[in-house]
Structure 1
Amino acid sequence: MSKLYQGIVGVCDKFVPTNLRPLWEHPAGPKTIFFWAPAFKWGLVLGGLGDINRPAEKLSIPQVSSLAATGLIWSRYSLVIIPKNYSLFYVNVFVAAINVYQLARAINYQQSLPKK
């Protein structure tokens, strides 16, 4: 798979405009997993945005808690690794923010239920 990917990158390399070369050649650029992992992680952000209108009683507190925690942890990690990976930082900030909001909604709903 690596040989295939390197071949694709080699072909694409010829078509990258001069003004995009710094991004293309960056240690966390499209030639590396450091670019593609955060790119696909935006799917979690889109999923979280899709759940904004979901009724609070349908939200899973353990799920949104774990997503919020991992978003916070990976946000910190992305700034201490070398090279610093700002795309990983931003996607994890959004993952954390959306899931903290969802967690607040779920907890607020649970607290509004009458005591048994």
Structure 2
Amino acid sequence: MSRVVYKTLVSAADKFVPSKLRPLWEHEAGPKTIFFWAPAFKWGLVIAGLGDLNRPVETLSIPQSVSLAATGLIWSRYSLVIIPKNYSLFAVNVFVAMTSLYQIGRAIKYEQAKKSKQ
């Protein structure tokens, strides 16, 4: 059912896409495919990670940050070896990895400072 709705929406929008945007619209990783929408929605993880930069360091979860960083790095690599190359997937995963690696650094620095005080 949802596939039919999506195809109907794409067909309706197809008529309004300007000729200059046609190459993007028709691209193998363009808005007509999951290759476009999956990275678009994954930016929510980046936004959440940026929001966590103001989070108190003692509430950070190192295992969660490691998991997100590993996922970001693995999917960044994957996005460049698949066909078609998916640069939007690459970009979002680099940002997921960067925000997570920064959080890991904050958490480790906090743990070391806590140990040195004891």
TM-score range, shorter chain: over 0.9
Misfit runs of 4+, over 6 Å: none
**SS of equivalent residue, structure 2 residue 53:** coil
Q: Secondary structure of 1:75's match?
A: helix
Q: Which amino acid aligns with 2:51?
A: G
Name 1:65's counterpart in structure 2.
Answer: 66
Structure 2 match to 1:18:
19
Aligned residue pairs total 116
CA distance in 1, matches of 2:56, 2:33: 39
Residue 55 of structure 1: how far off its partner (Å): 1.0
For each residue in 1:25-79, what CA deviation from the matched residue of structure 2 results, as whole angstroms up to 9, or x when unmatched?
0000000000000000000000000000111111000001000000000000000
Residues 1:83 and 2:79 aligned together: no
1:52 maps to which residue?
Answer: 53
Give the share of equivalent positions with the same residue, in percent.
71
Q: What's the Cα RMSD here?
A: 0.9
Is the helix fraction higher in 1 or 2? 2
CA distance in 2, matches of 1:46, 1:19: 30
- Displacement of 1:3 in angstroms is 1.1
Return 5+ residue gaps in structure 2 as ranges.
none
TM-score (norm 2): 0.96
Structure 2: how far apart are the matches of 1:90 and 1:67? 15
Alignment partner, residue 4 of structure 1: 5
**Residue of structure 2 equivalent to 1:100:** 101
Secondary structure (helix, strand or coil) at the match of 1:84 reads: coil
How far apart, CA to CA, are the structure 2 residues paired with 1:83 and 1:71? 19
- Structure 2 distance, partners of 1:107, 1:92, is 22
List gaps (5 residues or longer) in structure 1: none
Give the secondary structure class of the aligned counterpart of 2:54.
coil
